[in-house]
Amino acid sequence: MIKIEHIGIAVKNLDEANKIYKKLLGTGSYKTEAVESENVMTSFFKVGENKIELLEATSDQSAIHKFIEKRGEGIHHIAFDVSDIYLEMERLKNEGFILLNEIPKIGADNKLVCFVHPKNTTGVLIELCQSKNQ
Ligand code: ZN
């Protein structure tokens, strides 16, 4: 794994959260993006070379909706940048981690992503992500 690519935060209301994070970070969101496959609307902020991803559910079927129902707003996942997502997925599977998708999905930011079940990661949902042009 190369570095922490971003931290995902589940929010109830993206507009409100955008205002809060703009105040907090001193700079506004540089993009918003709908991720159809996850039923979420996302908003990204840059902090140095790291990013914060705010996620709002766009449907009751969204994992973000379920997360907020259960645990309220807060940190939802930590995403790690990887150079070869297929290789990392294989490696983690062999280490006994549970992958939530067997093949990489198209995530936000035009990346290939795979989620790792929090059950075996001390309760933290992990996202692997690889830039498609890497
Ligand atoms: Zn993410």
d(CA 113, ligand 1 centre) in Å: 8
User: Residues 45, 120: contact at Cβ < 8 Å?
Assistant: no
d(CA 96, ligand 1 centre) in Å: 22
| pLDDT tens per residue, range 23-37 | 999 999 999 999 988
User: Residues 65, 72: contact at Cβ < 8 Å?
Assistant: no
Percent of the chain with pLDDT over 70: 99
d(CA 82, ligand 1 centre) in Å: 13
d(CA 45, ligand 1 centre) in Å: 12
| pLDDT tens per residue, range 68-127 | 999 999 999 999 999 999 999 999 999 999 999 999 998 888 899 999 999 999 999 999
78 by Cβ neighbours in 10 Å (0-12 / 13-18 / 19+) ranks as: middle
Confidence at residue 133, expressed as pLDDT on a 0 to 100 scale: 67
| pLDDT tens per residue, range 13-65 | 999 999 999 999 999 999 999 998 889 999 999 999 899 999 999 999 999 99
